[in-house]
Structure 1
Amino acid sequence: MLSALRSSTLAIGLTLLTLPAYAFDTTARAAYVMDQKTGTVLLSKEADQPLPPASMSKLMTLYVAFEALRDGRLTLNETLPVSEHAMSYGGSTMFLNTQDRPTVEDLLRGIIVLSGNDACVVIAEALSPDGTEAGFARYMTQRGKQIGMDNSNFANSNGWPAAGHMMSVHDLAVLANRLISDFPEYYPLFAEEEFEFDGRAPSNKRNRNPLLNLGIGADGLKTGHTQEAGYGLVGSAKQGDRRVIFVLTGLDSTGTRAEEAEAVVNWSFRNFVERTVANADEPIAEAKVWMGAQKTVGLVPQEDLTLLFPVLNDKDIDAEVVYDGPVNAPIRKGQQVAELVIKPEGLPEIRRPLVAAQDVPLGGFVVRMMTVGGIVMKDFINNPLESM
């Protein structure tokens, strides 16, 4: 019963500098920018709204293909057949035909560099549970939800306009982060600027990512464009030990896409700095304990807590610790018992888990009886008639 009580304003000796009330001024229909190392969200605009993703959804096909390579269900030098259905797509293609048997490695480059719609279908039909692109799309939707993409639904493997084919920019950022983190051995493919497949597509051999050769650390990931979706880009850039992941969609031209993407990267690196605000071995607060050998337990972050803050700051903000308490003993060291909540002005709140700094065993008989007795006495004082 007492464990249902909520403590949301536990004072702690931690003062944090607020992020700015302003955000990057983008004309994109939806946008999402995050710092990968700290998880700090720098920009969020219509982030969870499902929208047509165009070719940016090819990233999910690539993720599934990389999983198959990791699991041994595909190999890079394996060749795959090309179906009539794969040939039926227009737009950006590798100009495959049914006499071809491209290698998986060529198909991956065909998707990443050339944005090949046909290459996506070849991969899809090879990995589909039922051998069809539609079956692969259903698998993509299911797998996406398993890795945290709650606002994505796939109707095909390549982002060709289709009813119900939707992704949010937040989901695209989640996917980009997983591609970078889960498959570092394949991520360098996204920085390749040119790929010639059998000399067939001289006009379609260059990567459409406008940031790759600008010297700003950009090394991925995927552009997209349809009339309905507008122009979009899932991008990432690394400078020093910081990496920024960003998604822009719904822009009106390739030029605007290039300008806004470059501006987002520069803004993200120039206007924020890292600061360690809590150390994993230093308690920042205490939580009350129920029936424990100790009355309180120290709270520490699971690891050193480093966040991004603006270069210029003009006011402070106090962090809060939120937990359901008192916390029932016994408590194990490292057990999550609370959250640190930081509410940056103008940006989504930041929540980080706090864990017990030490073991707290269950109190002895005397401790338990005194605790129960105190509750009974308090109840009698507050409600004397009801207790008679």
Structure 2
Amino acid sequence: MTTTAKFLLTCVALVAGSGAASADLPKIEPAAPPPLEVPIALLVDLSSGQTLYAREPDRRFMPASITKVMTAFTVFEMIAAGKISPEQQLLVNDEIWSDWHGVGSTMFLANRQRVTVDALLYGITTVSANDGAAVLAHGLAGSLPAWSERMNATARSIGMRDSHFSTPNGWMDEGRTFTTARDLATLAEAMITRHPALYERYFGNRRLKFNNIEQRNHDPVTGVVEGADGIKSGFTNQAGFGFLGSAERDGRRLVSIVAGSPTGRMQKAASRAFLEWGFRSFEGHPLFDQGEVVGEARVQGGSARTVPLIAQRPIGYDLPVGQTAKVTLSIRYEGPLRAPIAQGEQVAELEIAVEGLRPSRVPLVAAQPIEEANIAERLVNGVAGLF
């Protein structure tokens, strides 16, 4: 059953701006978005979980090279779990080289070359290397189909409910690889929140020099939009032009998706204008700093009866510039939680309800580990529970 936990801080009815009574608050109405000549568009603020704009967010489309973000994230998960290291070397085998040498975007891998996971990740994220993605997938999973299975399992584990991947690089496969804008926003949030150091290392680089060949990153926002650091563009004749992008300013991290653009020019213009509109038209209102205790959740069968909850990123909410609204916060979780609980494990969500807007949720994680209770602790907890 969903429960609302007790707050450690009094913040159930925060009001932005002057604190006007709710009856006097104006309707929440942001400035009109820029003309977006794309059929699919989504803009989300990760600090609040709020959707700032949505056009066909659940419509399936072929992501083309944006698929490589899923490959990179899957590798990030393996690195974090200690299954591989960036220094691990993989072999460019004959079959993969024959299939992918010179096919589309490339990092110009040589046949039988040994190359590190680190270098392959740079190739994938900076110059969209099809050969790099294939070598990485084959080297880590033994085959491309086995890697696709791993990608799909990883996607399901983070809540991408309407996506499927059959290639590591998004090459045309008659529509077997598909996703939605909402799922890509979920992917971006998981990658940036779970693996901030890896994200910062591999995304947003302007150039790559490998095998004495230098290439530049063609993403449309990095170096153009203030605070932008990627993430990935994509194009095939079947998919059209798309872009998954992100930028951070003053603690606000926006993620945008545009897809199905008929031309690269339209995609670039829409990608840049969309992010700029999000920062210009909405004001961020901070609530909690990164790592600050937001509240607590009850624990059953643990060495402690409660666990403090924190966010892995700063938490706030957005309002259109110059507007005010009443904001109600509540912590939601399936509880009481059952021990053991790992430190950093996501166990709850902070619901942010801005009057006039749809409520949004931000993940909360356990601030400390909670072990299973021993006999003495169970007795103490049982007696305490009576009172």
TM-score of the superposed pair, with normalisation by structure 2: 0.70
Distance change >3 Å, CA 31–CA 193, structure 1 → 2: same
Aligned partner (choices 92, 106, 111) of residue 124 of structure 2: 111
**Aligned 8 A contact 2:44 2:50 in 1:** yes
Structure whose residues are more often strand by fraction: 2
- Determine what percentage of the aligned residue pairs are the same residue: 29
- 1:319 Cα offset (Å): 7.5
Distance change >3 Å, CA 318–CA 63, structure 1 → 2: closer
- 1:241 Cα offset (Å): 1.3
| Counterpart mapping for 1:38-187 below 5 A | 38-83=48-93, 84-89=95-100, 90-128=103-141, 131-162=142-173, 163-187=175-199
| Counterpart mapping for 1:256-267 below 5 A | 256-267=266-277
Distance change >3 Å, CA 243–CA 127, structure 1 → 2: same
Question: Which residues of structure 1 form unaligned runs of 5+?
Answer: 1-11, 283-300, 324-334, 354-360, 365-388
| Counterpart mapping for 1:149-298 below 5 A | 149-162=160-173, 163-187=175-199, 188-200=201-213, 202=214, 205-214=215-224, 216-275=226-285
Question: Which residues of structure 2 form unaligned runs of 5+?
Answer: 1-12, 16-21, 295-308, 333-346, 364-383
**Aligned 8 A contact 1:137 1:155 in 2:** yes
Deviations 1:284-336 (A, max 9, x none): xxxxxxxxxxxxxxxxx9999842110144x9689899x9xxxxxxxxxxx99
- 1:96 Cα offset (Å): 2.0
Q: Give the SS at the match of 1:179.
A: helix
- 1:350 Cα offset (Å): 3.7
Name the residue aligned to 1:3.
Answer: none
- 1:363 Cα offset (Å): 11
Letter in 2 for 1:209: D
Distance change >3 Å, CA 363–CA 169, structure 1 → 2: same
The separation in 2 between residues aligned to 1:340 and 1:262, in whole angstroms, is 28
Distance change >3 Å, CA 123–CA 240, structure 1 → 2: same
Letter in 2 for 1:197: F
| Counterpart mapping for 1:328-343 below 5 A | 342=354
Q: Give the SS at the match of 2:267.
A: helix
Moved over 4 A (4+): 301-305, 315-321, 338-343, 361-364
The separation in 1 between residues aligned to 2:231 and 2:154, in whole angstroms, is 20
Q: Which moved more, 1:139-148 or 1:20-29?
A: 20-29
Name the residue aligned to 1:20.
Answer: 29
Q: Give the SS at the match of 1:223.
A: strand
Letter in 2 for 1:39: G
Distance change >3 Å, CA 148–CA 86, structure 1 → 2: farther
Distance change >3 Å, CA 73–CA 48, structure 1 → 2: same
Deviations 1:114-172 (A, max 9, x none): 101111111111222xx210111122112101101111101111101113200111111
